[in-house]
Amino acid sequence: MSKLTPDDIATGKEIFAAQCAGCHGFDGSGQLGPNLHGVEARRGDAGIFSVIRNGTGGMPPVMSLNDQRVWQVVGFVRTLGDTGPVEAAKGDPVKGKEVYAANGCATCHAINGEGGGVGPQLTTVGRSRPPKYFYEFLRDPGKNPPADTSLPERGQSAGYLLVRVVTKDGHEVTGIRVNEDTFTIVLRDVGGHFYSFDKSELKTIEPQPGKTVMPSYGSLSATDMDHLVAYLSSLKGAQ
Amino acid sequence: MKAAKYLVMVMALCGALPCFAQVPYERLMKSDAEPQNWLMYGGNYGSQRFSGLKEMTPQNAKDLRVAWAYQMRGGGVMESSPLIVDGIMYVTEPPSNVTALDARTGKPLWHYVPQVPRDFVPVGLFPTNRGVAILGDKLYLATIDDHLIALDAKSGVVRWNSLIADKADGYAITQAPLAINGKIVVGVGGGEAGAHGFLSCYDANDGKLLWRYYTVPRSASDPGADTWADGSWSNGGGTTWNTGSYDPELNLVYWGTGNPVPDWNGEGRMGDNLFTCSLIALDADTGKLKWYFQFSPHETHDWDSSEPPILFNATLNGKPRKLVALANRNAFYYLLDRETGEFITGVPFAKQTWAKGLDAKGRPIKMPAEQIEPSVEGTLVYPTLTGAINWTSPCYSPITGLFYVNARDGGAYYIKGERKFEKGNSNGIVGGGGGGSRPGPADETTTSIRALNATTGEKKWEYKMVGDSWTGTLVTAGGLVFSADAAGNFFALNAETGEPLWHLLLGSSVRSNPVSYSVDGKQYVVDSAGNALFVFSLP
């Protein structure tokens, strides 16, 4: 990377706010896209440059910036790791792992290949979520559900949306929306079973924003909550 | 047996000529008389995208099925609107390739790949191509790196190659050119890069530049310069990136213009910023401005006015009128007199929160600036940055008198960045133009096919889809409207009522305009999804 001046970093910040913050959050702590704090350690400067230029996973290539501008964004992203607003988790991750096991989280979530598949995988969730997110989410999981990034083309669809449908012959199914278009909808129940419907067969399609199959863990003790959050924050996958 | 019949038919049509039918200007002028062909981007000079074919009807649409498919050779987003001329289909593939196909079977006949520099990254647009034009024995292709190339329609051999603009100045082209009497009219894209918009006209025979009209002043004495504070016209903008229309009788070319520069921060370019976000009518022989109508003065949301202008005639208040209609990215439907540019009516056709309405002359009455102007933290305004409609085409049926548009309802948080601006320097740009946007609430943006009374803009029916569709519309004399939803369900609706009649999931989003043609008396409808072109027919 060519040497960047403070002006370059400021320009990178401006570009980031306009073109990147929509998914990564204005502070880079993650929203629809991953938390970028410490991304330099994981990918290196050239790796970040490559992701911006070529895209990866659900992120499209950024066509509207020349190389110099991309480097300015890389320069700004590097600063996120140094001064970002992520507070250190207060609890003990080892004890948090016990809280995780005792509360049956693995029924729905997988970590390093172990656990269920109904909820999002958590193997690297500590990269993409700051502790404050875990506290808020564990207390009220329906309020701000994560995007489901398993099908990037769904774009702006709300992730893990609970939908209740009733068929014209009276059968009722409530499940997480896996896919929906103008003519069909596919739901998945907590047991992982898929239900595929032609909308013409349904008399009711009722999205239930704010509801979720994930229970609230607001009743955990403050100490257990700290430990659980510390454990989740420690999940960063292979470094 | 079928193939032998086809060859005999083509030879019979050609008579003593080499086995290829010429497409003189007279055929283009009377394109409605040969509904078996699709001779130009918009279907006819009025860009109506109306097919006169009647084999497919609301009664038999349920029997539609795939006749053949063509898999694109490379990657990228396929947005091409093919031409079909006497049994041969000409389709373009990203970034600027042309393929000729047997329109009956989908078998390739020839393929042309221009030399596009690999390191060229256009600013603010996908490197794709939306189609070619035909005149005489030549096809006309505008390339992503700003060349206008004439190809022998029989073979794909290059007849001439003219450089339209320098890509280092931010110019890039994705549109289909427009062929008129001995001339090829073509615009340019690149508004986010600060390209200085213009429309050019070339001699169809040799590629010589005949005229060029700049849409934004280039000196303080140019018309409209007083609508740009502090000489900010020098920023550029007002590009002409989507194909326009033509009235042979009035000899006027109609073309929409894009955003001023920088997009989302207008502080340094106070004033109306003529002739951005306007419809311009130019004399086709001289390129002189006959009239203009500015839809969005001092635009700050990237709502280009590059949507296809649709020309039609109708009787208003007992008087026959020559009209032009445009469904604008800013969410208003406009009807103008195409001889004079006089505003007749304008109403919203999709959700919008930026204007209280239009005044008697069609100028928007904007909401207070703090509610609509981009801000550092983001201001939620409707429609989205991509607009209530973008480059895809609406259509108009002279039978129903309805204007069919795929309308987007949704909002975005508009963000103002610093008013830095950097011109050209080979794809150099700051932040896309002084800001940008981030999406509005998840699941909120939807698209609907809306049928509007073309003379009033009043909605007759709508067909709601799930998701954010990027497909144009086609209407046929048989009484069908074709389009697709965001998931790639290609469908047929009853043109009178909007009733859904048939659909088929193509497995990827449909980012192009459907067209219709016939070979051997059999009607086909074609559109692309993902990397493939799909052609439909009745059994």
Give B363-397 pLDDT, tens digit per residue.
Answer: 999 999 999 999 988 899 999 988 999 999 999 99
**Chain B nearest C-alpha distance from A11 (Å):** 8
Looking at per-residue confidence, does B139 or B414 come out higher? Answer: B139
Residue B383's Cβ-count burial label (10 Å; 0-12, 13-18, 19+) is buried
Specify the range with the lowest mean pLDDT, choosing from A16-25, B57-66, B204-213: A16-25
| Secondary structure (3-state) at B103 | coil
Q: How far apart are CA B500 and CA B71, in angstroms?
A: 28
Q: How far is CA B110 from CA A146, B103, B174, in A?
A: 48, 13, 21
Whole-angstrom distance, CA of residue B41 vs CA of residue B244:
9
Does pLDDT of B15 surpass 60?
no
Nearest CA distance, A18 vs chain B (angstrom): 5
pLDDT at B16 over 50: no
Q: Which of A32-41, B143-152, B254-263, B378-387 is predicted with the least confidence, judged by mean pLDDT?
A: A32-41
Q: What is the ipTM of this complex?
A: 0.83
pLDDT at residue number B167: 87
Residue B398 has pLDDT above 70, yes or no: yes
> Does the CB of A147 have a partner CB in chain B at under 8 Å?
yes
Q: Tell me, yes or no, whether B4 lies in a domain.
A: no
DSSP code string of A134-203: HHHHHH-TTTSPPP-TTSGGGTTPPTT-EEEEEETTS-EEEEEEEEE-SSEEEEE-TT--EEEEEGGGEE
Segments making up each domain of chain A, as ranges: 6-83, 93-141+215-234, 152-207
pLDDT band (50, 70, 90) for residue B24: very high
- Nearest 5°: phi and psi at B471? -125, 140
pLDDT value of position B370: 95
Model confidence at B537, in pLDDT bands (50, 70, 90)?
very high
What is the rounded average pLDDT of the residues B492-504?
98
Q: Which two tokens stand for residue A90?
A: 């207060």
Residue B498 sits at φ, ψ, to 5 deg, of 85, 5
Q: Nearest-5° angle of CA B519, CA B521, CA B522?
A: 70
Tell me the shortest Cα–Cα distance from B217 to chain A, in angstroms. Answer: 25
Token pair in block for residue A150:
């398993």
B-chain CB neighbours of A69 within 8 Å are 428-431
Average pLDDT over residues B40-52: 98
Is B8 within the bounds of a domain?
no
pLDDT (0 to 100) of residue A97 = 97
For chain A, give the mean pLDDT: 83
Q: Which of A15-19, B22-26, B234-238, B246-250 has the lowest mean pLDDT?
A: A15-19
Band (A11; pLDDT cuts 50, 70, 90) = confident
Collect all residues with Cβ–Cβ distance below 8 Å to B161 and sequence separation of at least 6: B147, B148, B149, B150, B207
pLDDT > 90? residue B435: no
Looking at the complex, does the CB of residue A151 fall below 8 Å from at least one CB of chain B? Answer: no
For residue A84, what pLDDT band results from cuts at 50, 70 and 90? Answer: very low
The sign of the CA dihedral B285, B287, B290, B292 is: positive
Residue B422 banded pLDDT, cuts 50, 70, 90 = low
CA B327 to chain CA centroid, nearest Å: 11
- On the question of pLDDT at B88 being above 60, the answer is yes
Between A67-81, A218-232, B198-212, the lowest mean confidence (pLDDT) is in A67-81
Residues 6+ apart with CB under 8 A from B492: B56, B61, B64, B480, B481, B482, B500, B501, B502, B503
Chain A residue closest to B466 (CA)?
A182
Task: Quote the strand ranges of B383-499, DSSP E.
Answer: 395-396, 402-409, 412-416, 435-439, 446-453, 459-464, 474-476, 480-484, 489-494
pLDDT band at B1; cut points 50, 70, 90: very low
Range from B21-25, B167-171, B358-362 that averages highest in pLDDT: B358-362
What pLDDT does B2 receive? Answer: 47
Highest mean pLDDT among A23-27, B75-79, B329-333: B329-333
Look at residue B244 and tell me if it is in a domain. Answer: yes
Between chains, do A157 and B435 touch, taking CB under 8 Å as contact? no
Work out whether strand B183-187 and strand B198-203 pair parallel, antiparallel, or are unpaired.
Answer: antiparallel
Distance CA B417, CA A73 (A): 14
Measure in Å the smallest separation between the Cα of A90 and chain B Cα atoms. 31
Q: How many CB pairs under 8 A join A and B?
A: 98
Domain annotation covers residue B491: yes
The pair of structure tokens assigned to B87 is: 């049994």
What band does B25 get if pLDDT is binned at 50, 70 and 90? very high
Q: Residue A139 pLDDT more than 60? A: yes
With H, G, I as helix, E, B as strand and everything else as coil, classify residue B335: strand
Band of residue A148 on the pLDDT scale cut at 50, 70, 90: low
Question: For residue B431, which residues of chain A lie inside 8 Å, CB to CB?
Answer: 14-15, 18-19, 69
Whole-number Cα distances in Å, B410 to B155, B360, B407, B415:
46, 27, 10, 16
Helix (H, G, I), strand (E, B) or coil at B113: coil
Number of domains in chain B: 1
The neighbouring-strand residues paired with B435 are B416
Output A150 or B533, whichever has higher pLDDT. Answer: B533
CATH value of A152-207 in 1.20.120.610, 2.30.30.520, 3.40.50.300, 3.90.600.10: 2.30.30.520
| Mean pLDDT to the nearest integer, B41-55 | 98
Q: How far is A20 from chain B, CA to nearest CA, in Å?
A: 9
Q: Do A6-83 and A93-141+215-234 fold alike per CATH?
A: yes
Residues contacting residue A113 through CB under 8 Å, at least 6 positions apart: none
Determine the average pLDDT of the residues in A228-239.
Answer: 83
Q: Which domain holds residue B526?
A: 38-537
**B490: in domain:** yes
User: Averaged over B284-298, what is the pLDDT?
Assistant: 98
Check residues B427 and B19 and name the one with the higher pLDDT.
Answer: B19
Give the pLDDT band of residue A58 (cuts 50, 70, 90).
Answer: low
Q: How many residues does chain A have?
A: 239
What integer pLDDT is reported at residue A130 of this predicted model? Answer: 84
Mean pLDDT of all residues in chain B? 91
* B17 is a domain residue: no
How far is it, in rounded angstroms, from Cα B180 to Cα B235? 31
Q: The tokens of A75 are what?
A: 């320069």
Predicted pLDDT at A15? 81
Percent of chain B with pLDDT over 70: 92
**B121 vs chain A: nearest CA distance in angstroms?**
6
Q: CB-CB: which of B413, B442, B485 is closest to A156?
A: B442
CB contact under 8 A, A66 and B122: no
CA–centroid distance for B462 within its chain: 22
pLDDT band of residue A41 (cuts 50, 70, 90) is low
Tell me whether residues B503 and A19 touch, CB distance under 8 A.
no
User: Which positions ≥6 away from B16 have C-beta within 8 Å?
Assistant: none
Q: Is domain A93-141+215-234 given the CATH code 1.10.760.10 in the classification? A: yes
CB within 8 Å: A182 and B429:
no
Task: Give the residue with greater pLDDT, B6 vs B42.
Answer: B42
Task: Report how far residue B56's alpha carbon sits from residue B501's, in angstroms, rounded to the nearest whole number.
Answer: 11
CB proximity A101 to B under 8 Å: no
Do B41 and B135 meet the contact criterion of CB atoms below 8 Å apart? no
CATH of the domain at B429: 2.140.10.10
Q: Which residue has the higher pLDDT, B97 or B11?
A: B97
Residue of A nearest to B447 (CA): A182
Determine whether the interchain pair B438/A22 forms a contact, defined as Cβ–Cβ distance below 8 Å: yes
What pLDDT is recorded for position A85?
46
Work out the average pLDDT over B14-20: 44
In a domain, B19, yes or no: no
Does pLDDT of A39 surpass 80?
no
Question: In whole angstroms, how far apart are CA A60 and each of A17, A53, B35, B485?
Answer: 17, 9, 40, 21
Backbone angles phi, psi at A164, to 5 degrees: -110, 130
Tokens of B158: 């290059």
How would you label B395-427 residue by residue, b for 16+ Cβ within 10 Å and e otherwise? Answer: bbbbebebbbbbbbbbbbbbbbbbbbbebbebb
Within 8 A by CB and 6+ apart from A56, the residues are none
Using the Cβ of A181 and the Cβ atoms of chain B, whether some distance falls under 8 Å is answered with: yes
Among the listed residues B31, B158, B46, the one whose alpha carbon sits nearest the alpha carbon of residue B83: B31
Pick the residue with more confidence: A218 or A81? A218
Query: For residues B432 and B124, what is the distance between their CA atoms, to the nearest angstrom?
Result: 7
Q: Which residues of A touch B436 (CB under 8 A)?
A: 18-19, 22
Name the residue facing A183 among B417, B443, B503 (closest C-beta): B503
The β-bridge partners of B66 are B536
- Give the per-residue pLDDT at B425: 39
* CB nearest B426 (choices: A18, A66, A157): A66
- Specify the range with the lowest mean pLDDT, choosing from A104-113, A172-181, B118-127: B118-127
Interface test with A, best of B167, B423, B430 (most A CBs within 10 A): B430
Residues of chain B in contact with residue A181, where contact means CB-CB under 8 angstroms, are 465-467, 485-487, 489, 505
User: Strand, coil or helix: what is B518?
Assistant: strand
- For A68, residues 6+ apart whose C-beta sits below 8 A from its C-beta are B428
Homologous superfamily of domain range A6-83: Cytochrome c-like domain (1.10.760.10)
Active site residues of B: 302
Residues linked to residue A239 through DSSP beta bridges, in sequence order: none
A181 vs B122, B123, B485: nearest CB: B485
Name the phi and psi angles at A162, rounded to 5.
-85, 130
Q: Which residues in chain A have their CB less than 8 angstroms from residue B300's CB?
A: none
CA angle B125, B128, B130 (to 5 degrees): 110
Q: In angstroms, rounded to a whole number, what is the distance separating the alpha carbons of residues B260 and B263?
A: 6
Q: Give the pLDDT band of residue B433 (cuts 50, 70, 90).
A: low
The enclosing H or E element of A48 equals helix A39-54
pTM of the model: 0.88
| Cβ contact B438–A63 (<8 Å) | no
